[in-house]
Chain A
Amino acid sequence: MAAGTAGARRATGRALVGWFALPATAVLLVFFCYPLITIVWRSFSDPTLGFGNYLSLLHDGTSVRVLWRTLYTAMLVAVCTLVIAYPYAYAMTRMGPRGRGIMTLLVLLPFWTSLMARNFAWYLLEQRGGVVEKLLAAIGINGVELLGSVAGVAVAMVQVMLPYMVLPLYSSMNSIDRRLLDAATSLGAPWPRAFRKVYLPLSLPGVLSGFSLVFIMSLGFYITPSLLGSPQQALVSQVIGIRVNNLLDFGGAGALGAVLLVVTLLVLALVNRLARPAAALSQAVDRA
């Protein structure tokens, strides 16, 4: 009898507790979703109703190029971070608890360090006569000026994005039973082959969530391109910023923004079954 009332109470409780989600949902709907819907709507209605903003993206001769450049850069950044981060995340799983703690800390330090401070540091390194130029000159490559180029933006972005790649990778690799790899090698498979056939496929969810996370974040990244890039080699985020700031062209900026949103949603839809990048990241940070 007592169990019955407790069960009933719990059932009503479960229905009631749902309402606790209401305030957060309301705030997100009003101050997050509504603005996004409005900006997309303005891309069709500002200054005149129709597809004018999109047609002008196609025909103005620069927007398409900027979009491709942005996709290419985001892809490049994601590939580079993956290549750099994969062995690091793998090494983390092979460490003892203390080594692992230290390696996590080393990833979290930049993650928690002010974004502006890190971008400012890159600004210093990449300027004319800066450290990067001198280093390159020392090994015989002269006259490379990274500041103001897509390459300069990409280099800094790779460093800024590294934690976003390492953490999901590690959290997925950590759940792989290493004995599988040991078993494969003890059965006579050479290590590279065992790695490729056994370990790599198992780490794929982490690769996908890290990769898609970095790719998506790079698409809409504003600070690094606008500080280290240049208008001539602009990424979409810079063009959106300049259109809004200099021309108050919310329609045109909205159209470019809508394209970014669509690409983001497409990527998310593609990887959603295999990984949930955002959740993966925050859990990784939280557990660390």
Chain B
Amino acid sequence: MRQKKIMVAVLGVVLFAATACVGSPGASGNAFTFVSYGAGTYQNGQVSAWVDPYQQEKGVKITVDSPTDNAKMKVMTESGKVAWDAVDTDPFYARQYCGKYLEKIDVGALASSFPAGTLTACGVPDALFGVELMYNTKTYPKNPPTSLADFFDPVKFPGKRIINGNDPTSGIVEAALLGDGVAPAALYPLDVNRALKVYDRIKPDLTFATTYGQEQQAMVGNQADMALLVSSRAYSVLKSGGTFWKPVWDKVPVSWSDLVIPKGSPHKDLAQQFIQYASQPAQAARFASAAGVGPANTTAKATLDGLAQQVDPFSAAHKPDEVLMNADWWARNENNATTAWTKWMTG
């Protein structure tokens, strides 16, 4: 046995020597880390529209990490080891922790190019998206689900549902209440407990993905029958071969994402320049077209391909069904809602 163990170590040393030449990524002065939600049309769109051209134009090395994780971001600031510089996250976080966990961002002349009420001192909007219901046509070839209420009805529609359990702020709480018959105008303040009771109905059939990437791949891999997911991911599903998934058009909770800079980022100037670059009309339009999201810069126009159009909640036809989120409610109640959601989820 001993001989074998020694050989394990020898093998290790050899491997180490063999791979040492690859080297670990150094923290050079002209580099920073951009963080988004993980491979899929959304992050890929950001990379092709912002990261790649920016690297070429400015000679800056950008490392892309994922997924965004607000808890981790807090920990980084508190522990003084901030490894993320520019982060794509939800707008409530930017409102809640401006100055505490986040740096202020100066967007200069761009300040007026965002939809009213979306820009804040620490968060620059970069994309609009909706939460959509999709179903697997292999499971429901006839009589498919037609409304949010069907998602929460395990008797009429038996089957496995999938949601991202780590992102309760994306609009899935709103979706449950809308599905339970709450009128869009009466949605806020959100009755989180009622929403959890609605989810209780399907809890045995529910898969909690830990990221959107996992949710998307579970869908493409035929591992679920119905899904609630953000529209850019719906586009990812179709693009990566999940064309047997179809959207159900009911009310669509609409939210947006912000770009933020964690407090203590060692490259905050670079990150700010990058965010300004990403918010230009040309870049915003390129991103929106590639990712199938609504551009945050109101002067930008996205051109969507056929697949993106299938799941685009921002087309004229679906305009009346959009239910815009109340970011201020979420900023005030995000902690409690997330805690209630997480405790409910694990049991």
Instruction: Check whether chain A touches chain B (CB < 8 angstroms).
Output: yes
List A residues at the B interface (Cβ < 8 Å). 60-62, 65-66, 108, 112, 127-129, 148, 230-232, 234, 238-239, 242-243, 245-249, 285-288
* Residue of A whose beta carbon sits closest to that of B70: A246
Name the A residues within 8 Å of B208 (CB-CB). Answer: 230-232
* Residue of B whose beta carbon sits closest to that of A238: B346
Name the A residues within 8 Å of B344 (CB-CB). Answer: 62
- Please tell me if the beta carbons of B339 and A129 are within 8 angstroms of each other in the complex: no
Cβ-neighbour of B342 out of A66, A246, A287 (below 8 A): A246
**CB contact under 8 A between A66 and B347, given known A242-B342, A286-B1:** yes
In the assembled complex, B74 has its CB within 8 A of some CB on chain A: yes
Rounded to whole Å, the gap between the CB of A145 and the closest CB of chain B is 8
Rounded to whole Å, the gap between the CB of B215 and the closest CB of chain A is 14
Rounded to whole Å, the gap between the CB of B175 and the closest CB of chain A is 19
Name the A residues within 8 Å of B71 (CB-CB). Answer: 245-248
Name the A residues within 8 Å of B221 (CB-CB). Answer: 127
A-B contact pairs, 25 of them (CB 8 A): A62-B343, A62-B344, A127-B221, A128-B223, A129-B222, A148-B207, A231-B345, A232-B204, A232-B345, A234-B346, A234-B347, A238-B346, A242-B342, A243-B342, A245-B69, A245-B72, A246-B71, A247-B338, A247-B339, A247-B342, A248-B71, A248-B74, A248-B75, A249-B339, A288-B1
Cβ-neighbour of A287 out of B1, B8, B160 (below 8 A): B1
A-contact 0/1 string along B320-347, CB 8 Å cutoff = 0000000000000000001100111111
- Please tell me if the beta carbons of B206 and A232 are within 8 angstroms of each other in the complex: yes
Rounded to whole Å, the gap between the CB of A68 and the closest CB of chain B is 12
Name the B residues within 8 Å of A288 (CB-CB). Answer: 1
- Please tell me if the beta carbons of A232 and B347 are within 8 angstroms of each other in the complex: yes
- Please tell me if the beta carbons of A246 and B166 are within 8 angstroms of each other in the complex: yes
- Please tell me if the beta carbons of A127 and B223 are within 8 angstroms of each other in the complex: yes
- Measured between alpha carbons, how far is A108 from B8 in the docked complex, in Å? 13
In the assembled complex, B38 has its CB within 8 A of some CB on chain A: no
* Residue of B whose beta carbon sits closest to that of A61: B347
Other than the given A62-B343, A246-B71, A248-B75, 15 more pairs (CB < 8 A) read: A60-B343, A62-B344, A112-B8, A230-B207, A230-B208, A231-B346, A232-B208, A232-B345, A232-B346, A234-B347, A239-B346, A245-B69, A246-B166, A247-B339, A248-B74
- Please tell me if the beta carbons of A62 and B347 are within 8 angstroms of each other in the complex: yes
Rounded to whole Å, the gap between the CB of A211 and the closest CB of chain B is 24
Rounded to whole Å, the gap between the CB of B337 and the closest CB of chain A is 12
Name the B residues within 8 Å of A66 (CB-CB). Answer: 346-347
Rounded to whole Å, the gap between the CB of A166 and the closest CB of chain B is 15
In the assembled complex, B264 has its CB within 8 A of some CB on chain A: no
Name the B residues within 8 Å of A112 (CB-CB). Answer: 8
In the assembled complex, B203 has its CB within 8 A of some CB on chain A: yes
Rounded to whole Å, the gap between the CB of A242 and the closest CB of chain B is 6
Name the B residues within 8 Å of A232 (CB-CB). Answer: 203-204, 206, 208, 345-347
- Measured between alpha carbons, how far is A285 from B4 in the docked complex, in Å? 12
Rounded to whole Å, the gap between the CB of B198 and the closest CB of chain A is 15
* Residue of B whose beta carbon sits closest to that of A242: B346
| Chain B contacts with A in 236-270, Cβ cutoff 8 A | none
- Measured between alpha carbons, how far is A247 from B71 in the docked complex, in Å? 7
- Please tell me if the beta carbons of B1 and A285 are within 8 angstroms of each other in the complex: yes
- Please tell me if the beta carbons of B223 and A65 are within 8 angstroms of each other in the complex: no
In the assembled complex, B165 has its CB within 8 A of some CB on chain A: yes
- Please tell me if the beta carbons of A65 and B347 are within 8 angstroms of each other in the complex: yes
Rounded to whole Å, the gap between the CB of B305 and the closest CB of chain A is 30
Cβ-neighbour of B338 out of A62, A108, A246, A287 (below 8 A): A246
- Measured between alpha carbons, how far is A243 from B343 in the docked complex, in Å? 8
| Chain B contacts with A in 45-94, Cβ cutoff 8 A | 69, 71-72, 74-75
The 9 lowest CB-CB distance pairs between A and B, nearest first, are: A62-B347, A234-B346, A231-B345, A231-B346, A239-B346, A128-B223, A231-B208, A288-B1, A246-B342
